[in-house]
Every structure is written in structure tokens, then in C-alpha cells.
Amino acid sequence: MNKVVSVYLTLLRHAVMGEPLKDFSFSFNEQEWKEFAALVYRQGTAGLVFNEVLGRKDAVPEDLRMEMRSTCARQMMQQPRLQDLLKTTFTVLQQAGLHPVLLKGFGLAELYPRPELRSWGDLDVYVGPDQYHEAAGVLRKAFPDSRHHDEEWEELKHYNFVLPDGMVEMHRVSVKMEHPKDKKVYYALEREAMKPERVEHLTLREPAMQIDIPEGRFNMLFTFLHAWNHFVEEGLGMKQLCDVCLLARKTYEKERQSKEDYTDYMLRNLKALRLMQPWQLIGYVLVEYMHLPEEMWPGYQRESRWLKKHGELFFRRVMEEGVLREEAAEKMKTRYEDREKNLRMPLLLRKLKTLRLRIASSQWLRVYSDEYARHMLATAVYRGIKRLFKKDEVVLY
């Protein structure tokens, strides 16, 4: 690990985990400061880490110090707008007799010492498949000026409401599972955990209101799976891993009296979903680099030779790529440019192209996880064949 990464992780652990800095100090030359700033942005942790630097006496180039201040200020100014959006969204849904559940970012931000410094850009609200269409109608009326994204790849999982103050993702399901066996396992857990009598209640500091979040054990499984999907599809940064780290600590402390049941729940369902190796890889970063106590990550295999080798490969890739790897960024940039061209392509060829891309995207995972790469390949082939013979996507349930 080079000096820039080492300093970055030390400051991040202090900002997120409250780890004491003692007599920690550092100095960078001009090039190292550029690398440090690029790493912070790449990992999606600008508010958290820049705030730590600004509170110290270490020499920082004045232009970079001004940039850090403006970045932190923008981050903190964004929070009130999203808080108002959250309050409006939950109020109108609840007044309509619906039961929204807050997913991911905003609820997890409450775990941070300084929630306003965690970066976010949208609100993720779960309403479930039964309430989905009714909730969409309610929010269309509440947000008449929003721009809707109706593309097939989005509508299967969630509906986007794009607003000046942010974006609301209204979820039919928390994660889109594609293989029938995965659907059977995961959606059964989701339906049970999202029942009104099972969800947990969280009192937000700002805005002052109580909202529902997923049941604790399922929330841990979902948050981990969300982070892993980021790695597979877009790019994974310490932003998502800090969320997982803080939630793992909270869930362990809550489940301390029933530790064996919690461990059994996690390992049994991870095995059923063929996610044991991804679980170990993310655990490696959290335990070895974020200093999460090993016992807080169920089933962690510190002595595994496979984990020592592939965990380092995984960590290096996270550091190098961050929240949006280059190929994903390029794909997003050209998605709308290619859409019209793709729609003119014969349906069969378009489906074959999708299958080929999905198979290709699963190949590079083999470096990290043979088991998961094989599963991704099987899923890609299965979904591709189904699409060849059906006009519509495979149903979610």
C-alpha cells in the first residue's frame, strides 16, 4: 500500500469509525496531493475525508484547500433539499394508505458521526410489488414536473422520479434477481422482512420524523448485496463499503445476544444465493483495512489462502476504479446515443447482443470468484435464452 492510500484510509477510518488519530501527521508533495484528491473523489468520500483534512494543520496547497471547502459546502447544502424531498415522499405515500420503506443511503447516513458529510444523490423507497402501481400514481401527482425514465431495464426494479432537488427511486423490489433459484430465496426473505410488523422504525434527526427501514438481518444482507452489485455492474468505492461497515457493526451489536442465530441466518442465505466468496472479499476490505472487528463479520475466514490472494486483488481494484469504473461511465454516456440505433436493430439480433454482453461481463469476475463467475455465466445464458423466445422480461415473482 502506497503512502497516499495509507493516509486516505487513516483519515477515512477516523471520519467513519471514530478511530483515534493520536499523533498522526503526514506531508505530501504536489503530485501526491493530486493523487490524494483524485482517490477521494474516485471513492465517493469527498465530504468525509476533505472535512478531516480541513480540520488539521497539515500543509495543503491553497487552491486545493479552497476546492475542499467548496466541496464540503456543496455536500452540506444538498442535505436540506433531500430532507424535504424525503418528508414529502413519505408523507404523500403514507397519506394514501401505503407503507413505504427507506432503503440504503439516507437511512444508513444516520449511522455516521456526521450524516451530512456522506454523499448521496437520490432517495431509495421500497413500496413492494403489490403497491407499486398505486404508489407510482401517487408520486406522479405529487411530482408533476418530474422527468420519468420508462426504459425496460429500469422499470423492472424501480421507477425514477427526477426532480430539481434530487431523484426518488421507487422500488418494486430491493434488488433485481435474475436466476429462478435466486428469486425464490431472496424474494421470500424480502417479502417477510418488509411486512409492516417486521420492519424497524428509525427516528431521523433531520427531518424530525419516524420512518420504516428493513428488518435488521435482511437489511444487512441487502446492503451487502447492493455493494456487490455495484462492483459487478458499475464500480464499487469506499462510499458503499463504509455503509456496509457501519451497518455490520450496528447489526452485530443489536444481535449480540443471539449471535449464533444471526450467523446462521447470514451464512445459510449467502450459501443459498452463492454469495459466500463475494461476502469474504468485502469482509476482507472491512476487516483488514477499515479495522472492523472480525467477529462482526459472520463466517470471516482470516486464514484462508484464497482470501489473502483474492482479497488483495479485490482491494486494489476498488482503489483503482472506485464508484464508477471507466467502462461503466462510457456505457452510461453512450446508452441514450445507442438506444435509437438499437431499436432499429432486428429483435433477435438485439437479444443476442444482450446475451453476448452479459456473458462477456461475467468473465472478468473469475479472477476474484470462480463460484460467482460460474453463477453469473449461468444466469446470463439462462436470461438470454428466455429473452430469445419471449417478448417480455421474465417476471419478478
Per-residue pLDDT tens digits for 125-157: 999 888 888 888 888 888 887 766 444 334 456
Domain identity same for 373 and 320 = no
pLDDT band of 396, cuts 50, 70, 90:
very low
CATH of the domain at 197: 3.30.460
Residue 361 has pLDDT above 90, yes or no: no
Domain identity same for 135 and 231 = no
Domain identity same for 120 and 3 = no
- Residue 182 is predicted with a pLDDT of 85
Domain identity same for 360 and 274 = no
| Closest-CA residue to 194 (of 186, 182, 203) | 186
Domain identity same for 266 and 304 = yes
Please give the average per-residue pLDDT across 185-210, as a whole number. Answer: 87
Final residue before a domain boundary, out of 307, 334, 361: 334
Residue 215 has pLDDT above 60, yes or no: yes
Instruction: Please indicate, yes or no, if residue 263 is contained in any of the structural domains.
Output: yes
Final residue before a domain boundary, out of 196, 214, 232: 214
Q: Which long-range contacts (CB under 8 A, 24 or more apart) does 136-141 make?
A: 136/170, 138/92, 138/93, 138/96, 138/98, 139/89, 139/92, 139/93, 139/168, 139/170
Instruction: Using alpha carbons, list the distances in angstroms from residue 281 to 63, 289, 375.
Output: 38, 12, 16
- Contacting residues for 181 by C-beta, under 8 A, at least 6 apart: 272
Domain identity same for 243 and 172 = no
Domain identity same for 209 and 80 = yes
Instruction: Please indicate, yes or no, if residue 301 is contained in any of the structural domains.
Output: yes
- Residue 336 is predicted with a pLDDT of 39
| Residue appearing with cell numbers 493530486 | 34
- Supply the Cα-derived Rg of the chain in whole angstroms: 21
Domain identity same for 12 and 142 = no
Instruction: Please indicate, yes or no, if residue 91 is contained in any of the structural domains.
Output: yes
239 near 43, Cβ under 8 Å?
A: yes
Domain identity same for 239 and 351 = no
Domain identity same for 199 and 109 = yes
How many structural domains are present in the chain? 4
Chain length of the chain: 397
Range of the domain at 250: 215-334
Domain identity same for 189 and 249 = no
The C-alpha atoms of residue 397 and residue 390 are separated, in whole angstroms, by 16
Question: 3-state class of 230 per DSSP?
Answer: helix
Domain identity same for 296 and 279 = yes
- Residue 133 is predicted with a pLDDT of 84
Q: What is the pLDDT of residues 53-111, one digit of tens each?
A: 988 877 888 899 999 999 889 888 887 888 888 888 899 999 999 999 999 877 788 88
Q: Assign residue 104 a region: left if phi > 0, alpha if psi is -120 to 50, beta otherwise?
A: left
